[in-house]
Chain A
Amino acid sequence: MLRAIFVIFFFQLLGEALKKFFEMRIPGPVIGLILLLITLIFLKRFKTTIVNKLRNDVLSTSNYILSYLSLLFVPIGVGVVMHLSYLENNLFKVLVIVFISTILTIGLTAFLMEKINKRINKK
């Protein structure tokens, strides 16, 4: 577990460093995600016990962290509620816009993907 946490933190650190170096607008953790993914795919060819052990360790620890993903949004979520007054008299309008646009985007995207998928699989 500790080794896995080290690996994950290390990749985030790498991501933050690259972001700063290249002055990218993509957040450090997202760069870390991409780097870790590339590393995992690259390491697939190596079947040594050390690599296998480390990989399994990272896999199980990540699953554990991700099972609590929604908890991690609570602190900023509280900030949103406490700062809703920033929106002043726009609050109601903004809520309506966010509601309509988000629901439609989810529906449209999923609809497109399912239909295209069915088309491709039929061929």
Chain B
Amino acid sequence: MIEKDKLYSIWVYLQAEPLFWLTLTIGSYLVGDYLYKKSKLFPLVNPVAISILIISLVLINLDISYERYFDGAKFIHFMLGPATVALAIPIYKQFKLIQKEALCISVSLVIGSLFAIISTFALCEIFKIDDQVLFSMLPRSATAPIAMGVSDLIGGIPSLTAIITILTGIMGASFGTFALDFLKLKDMSARGFGLGLASHGIGTARAMSRNETAGVFAALALGLNGIATSILVPLLFKLLNLF
């Protein structure tokens, strides 16, 4: 009985420190990554999704608040900013190819970005989604910080947008390649561009794990669509209000 108390006090001590949550995050990611490689990079066995699932189950079962978890995991979260800056390097290395494809990059960017916004709007109308949730969904293909800013601007709820945006990323990373294979698309730059445009960072991470060219074009699409979405959504929103 005394030993049980002792174990419990150790647990109480550890769970209050960031170290435990950092270790859990990296450990569960390694499990996810191991399964991903074991499955020969099968898209549904997504390492991000697996580690999120493991950590969520731990938090729910042990009745730990997300804030307590994030207090430790924020050190990993912090690296997202520098990693975004680091995306300049693969773009720099493939700059010649990007210059060569500038025309089709611009056309695909504008049409792809418009399609993401308009198809979301149309589906929300079909499913009779409330306006506030609809506004929160429109910028969801942009990277999370941009999407949240745009959502706030047009009367959505930024925290809801964050959730929907991350969901978009996970969906794109898990199912996107099936659409690409179904269409029999072989051009790595095109495949990467589609993934990055529609499902931002998480799609880019997925593309990067498969092929460098795909990763570069995904990173490029992520940046460009962030800018395109922040211009197009408010513009379409104004047009919509005219009618």
Contact = CB atoms under 8 A, between A and B. Distances in A.
B135 interface: no
Nearest to A28: B81
Contacts, number: 306
A50 interface: no
A41 B94 CA distance: 12
Contacts of A2: none
Contact of A77 (B52, B107, B133, B209): B52
Contact of A26 (B87, B146, B166): B146
A34 B91 CA distance: 10
Interface of B: 25-26, 28-29, 47-49, 51-53, 55-56, 59-60, 66, 69-70, 73-74, 76-77, 79-93, 95, 101, 103-105, 107-108, 111-112, 115-116, 119-120, 123-124, 127, 129-130, 133, 137, 140-141, 143-146, 149-150, 153, 159-160, 162-164, 166-172, 175-176, 178-180, 182-183, 185-187, 189-191, 193-195, 197-199, 201-206, 208-209, 215, 221, 223, 226-227, 230
25 contacts: A25-B153, A29-B84, A59-B89, A69-B208, A71-B51, A73-B201, A73-B205, A74-B28, A76-B144, A77-B51, A78-B52, A78-B56, A90-B130, A93-B127, A103-B171, A105-B119, A106-B194, A107-B182, A107-B194, A108-B115, A109-B108, A116-B103, A116-B104, A116-B108, A117-B187
Interface in A57-79: 58-59, 61-63, 65-79
A30 B88 CA distance: 9
B149 A70 contact: no
A74 B21 CA distance: 12
B190 A108 contact: no
Given A26-B226, A72-B80, A109-B115, A11 B85 contact: yes
Contacts of B92: 37, 40-41
Interface of A: 5, 8-9, 11-12, 15, 25-30, 32-34, 36-37, 40-41, 58-59, 61-63, 65-84, 86-87, 90, 93-114, 116-117, 120
